[in-house]
Structure 1
Amino acid sequence: MEPVVQIKDVQEVAKDVVVVPNRHVQLVPNIGVIGGRHAVLVVDTGMGPRNAETVLAFAADYAQGRKLYLTTTHFHPEHAMGAQSFAGEATYLVNQAQADDLAQKGPGYIEMFKGLGEGVARQLEGVEFVQPDIVYDEAYDLDLGGRVVRLQATGRAHSRGDQVVKVTDADVLFTGDLVETGQFAIFPWFPPYDTDVSGVRWLAVMQRLAADAPQVVVPGHGDVGGAQLLADVHDYLELLRHETWARRDSAMSEQTMVEEIEALMIERHPEWEGRDWIGKGVRCLCSERLTTTDRHL
């Protein structure tokens, strides 16, 4: 199915906080629209300018004259590469690490994603990169009028520039691809082109997020849920690290490790999608174990 955002089954997850669900379509993210008295924040654009135009039209109608802001959870194409459609219509703000990711790796990711199929390539036609209007370092409190939304850079995890969006008064957390529902964690481990994903740091991020136990968690893809989604990702990453490092320390070959751990994880979560990401996670954590061991030699 082509990765097209459709304004269907929109969910109100809290007062003046709605989610346009991805409907379990690959490479379509969950998109958030968060309102205050004076302004509305859009979270993620969809893949490419045409999807983003759909999102913008919905957000403008929802805003009913309120000022528009846009933010993106990370730089990957289905989340951020429609920002051009919001130029002149919304104030675009992201963390510095994400802005750097987009500038340095954005063009390469477009070409890589175009190779995933004609439908993806169509959505990425005409992508142009725009400069954010506001760039922050670690955290930014956005006042929408009677509601302050916190944009928080998490540090390197799924990507170098991951950001979560916290609607504190409603206890809602938008996670981007730090969390997925019913899917193995996405490890964009593509050496030598991109090795910024870190399983170790990702696990630490999940520990911090889970400690807050938000009432509503909006994942990058999949169904909206609660704090259990954070626990599920944390537990998976912890087990993946344990099983990978135990085998790495026994001098087992990487291919054998991947095969054994894939079988174990699929047995644990037979209903989860994205099985190809397990092996990438193993290879990422092997690299991190090697680095950790080398530091102590």
Structure 2
Amino acid sequence: MTELTDPAVHVGGAREIAPDLLVIPNAGVDLVPNIGVVGGTEAVLVVDTGIGTENASQVLAFASEVAKGRRLYLTTTHFHPEHAFGAQAFAGSATYLVNRAQAEDLATKGAGYLEMFRGLGEVVARRLDGVRIPAPDVVYDGSHELDLGGRTVRLRPTGRGHTRGDQVVEVPDAGVLFTGDLAETGQFAIVPWFPPHDTDVTVVGWLAVLEGLVSTGPRIVVPGHGEAGGGAVLTDVRAYLRELRDETWHRRDAGLDADAIAAEVRALLAGRHPEWAGREWIGPGVGCLCAERSAGG
């Protein structure tokens, strides 16, 4: 396996996309998410941590500098390690709040994902040295409106899509939407289909989630990975997932076996999107969709 690039967060690249709303971009580096820092008059919210405590400590120091004494909150878009497995660095400095399904994902799947990610290579394992499974301070049911002072941020679970506990973060006054890994740009959608250990991803459900997000008409969409943009960030992912679904189900209904379907669909979609990274995610997407078709999707 090719060694991954060090998944280091670089806070020096932060840019303001709306008043008192910054994004620390992932700069195209694997296992580095886009991280948000959203300010109001009384408090500042950080969205996602980066992988490991060293990254998260840098994010915390940056957010503290931005906050200038304002109260700090932290939330994460979902439980995967590059998004949430730095939360312990915020303990005692910020209130960490997440939706209930995400909290359950952390409790039931966190240890398995920590072990799996440590197996991705030495550089990732080093980033995860000393990491503990995050424990939220506040777990909410339904949606949650967080008053930052003159700005209310809406934390909203979407239901199953990329994970069981996906949560989007909406900043209505700025028209900004943080999607986590429900959307990416410049790469194939990340479909974490890992049977028998984790089969909660649903491409059918993900498409329904995207329909709802598109209908909200965000001005700026900050994806989990890749460049922020307008509503096309969402519609492009929706178009790809429809494409993946249709090509997979056409072959599944024609009686091809799973290996043949995966090979054909991978070649087809890689040819249609030659500039995209992450071709390794096409196969898991096919596997997920075959299972969903068998279940009556």
Distance 2:136 2:277 in 1: 34
* Mapped contact 1:199–1:285 kept (Cα < 8 A): yes
- What does residue range 254-273 of structure 1 map to in structure 2 within 5 Å? 254-273=258-277
Equivalent position of 1:241 in the other structure: 245
TM-score between the two structures when normalised by the length of structure 2 = 0.97
| Structure 1 vs Structure 2 CA RMSD | 0.9
Correspondence for 1:179: 183
Within the candidate set 77, 84, 97, 2:81 is matched to 77
1:153 to 154, 157, 161: 157
Aligned AA for 1:281? G
Task: Choose from 82, 88, 92 the match for 1:88.
Answer: 92
Which runs of structure 2 are paired with 1:1-297 in the superposition (5 Å)? 1-292=5-296
CA contact (8 A) 1:8 1:21 kept: no
Task: Compute the displacement of 1:253 (Å).
Answer: 1.1
The alpha carbon displacement at 1:9 in A equals 2.1
**C-alpha distance in 2, partners of 1:136/1:288?**
30
Distance 1:274 1:136 in 2: 33
Off by >2 Å, runs of 4+ in structure 1: none
In the alignment, the residues of structure 1 paired with residue 160 and residue 142 of structure 2 have an alpha-carbon distance, to the nearest angstrom, of 12
Contact preservation (8 Å) 1:210, 1:227: yes
Q: Percent identity?
A: 62
Extract unaligned runs of 5+ from structure 2: none
Per-residue CA deviation, residues 132-168 of structure 1 (Å, 9 max, x unaligned), is 1211122000000000000000011101100000000
Deviations 1:67-113 (A, max 9, x none): 00000000000000111111110011000000000011101101100
Residue identity matched to 2:164:
R
Moved more, 166-175 or 250-259: 250-259
Which ranges in structure 1 are unaligned for 5 or more consecutive residues?
Answer: none
Matched residue type, 2:19: K
How far residue 11 of structure 1 moved from its aligned partner, in angstroms, is 1.3
Q: Is the 8 A contact 1:20 1:31 kept in 2?
A: yes
Write the distance in 1 (CA, Å) between the matches of 2:289 and 2:42. 45
